[in-house]
Amino acid sequence: MTLDRFYPIFDSTDWLRRLLPLGIKLVQLRAKDLDEGTLRQEIRTARDLCHDAGATLIVNDHWQIAIEEGCDYIHLGQEDLDTSDIDAIRAAGLKLGVSTHDKAELRRAMELNPDYIALGPIYPTILKKMKWHEQGLEKLTIWKEIIGDTPLIAIGGMSVERAQGAFDHGADVVSAVTDIALNEDPEQRVRDWIAATR
């Protein structure tokens, strides 16, 4: 399966209801700090919304619920790898994406034969406090040389204006979070993203 080149990440299905109709084909639900019942309902709703929209849903972190709810994709950070059952994820037929920041993490991720690798933050990001400084575009080129045909996602401080630079340096997909969620007109921003990446 070829991943769409535009990969927004949202923290709520409210965003999916609002923006999927614009033509988003690849999206991550990164829901944090919810009780299990609410979280399960969010994942279930996201699954159904994406199915109806012909979009691929990637569930961040919550692999057990993703398996139980029949989702297609899970994204794991390095910390999540410590507590996840990769064999169970694979046995359930889920595809796997993994975050990386340095070569040790990349080696670890590639041993899992992932369906994509994410590198970030490419630019400074306000989203979360990270021990990693900006990676820079050149690191995308290095990563792509190492991982070959595995799709490479650029994340962190990405914007419509910066997308082409990431593609030029080896990214297959560009991921956006705050560039949409904090935009004055998220709908128009999504249209701009789609126009810039397809």
Phi-psi region of 184 (alpha: psi -120 to 50; beta: other; left: phi over 0): alpha
User: Is 109 among the domain residues?
Assistant: yes
> How far apart are the C-alpha atoms of 79 and 14, rounded to whole Å?
27
> How far apart are the C-alpha atoms of 172 and 178, rounded to whole Å?
20
User: Is 46 among the domain residues?
Assistant: yes
Specify the pLDDT at position 128. 59
**Burial status of residue 10 (CB atoms within 10 A of its CB: 0-12, 13-18, 19 or more):** buried
Does residue 196 contact residue 164 with C-beta atoms inside 8 Å? yes
Model confidence at 127, pLDDT cuts 50, 70, 90, reads low
User: Is 167 among the domain residues?
Assistant: yes
The CATH number given to whatever domain includes residue 47 is 3.20.20.70
Q: Which domain holds residue 77?
A: 6-197
pLDDT in tens, 4-42: 999 999 999 999 999 999 999 999 999 999 999 999 999
The rounded Cα 55 to chain-centroid distance in angstroms is: 13
> How far apart are the C-alpha atoms of 190 and 21, rounded to whole Å?
10
* Bridge partners, 99 (sequence order): 118
User: Is 1 among the domain residues?
Assistant: no
**Claim: this prediction has a pTM higher than 0.85:** yes
- Please choose, from the candidates 137, 191, 112, 192, the residue with its C-alpha nearest in 3D space to the C-alpha of residue 160: 192
Q: Is the pLDDT assigned to residue 104 strictly greater than 80? A: yes
Whether the upstream peptide bond of residue 121 has omega within 30° of 0, thus cis, is yes
User: Is 120 among the domain residues?
Assistant: yes
The rounded Cα 198 to chain-centroid distance in angstroms is: 18
Specify the pLDDT at position 129. 62
Tokens 């990164």 map to which residue?
30
Specify the pLDDT at position 114. 98
Model confidence at 93, pLDDT cuts 50, 70, 90, reads very high
Looking at the structure of the chain, the number of domains it has is: 1
> How far apart are the C-alpha atoms of 98 and 114, rounded to whole Å?
7
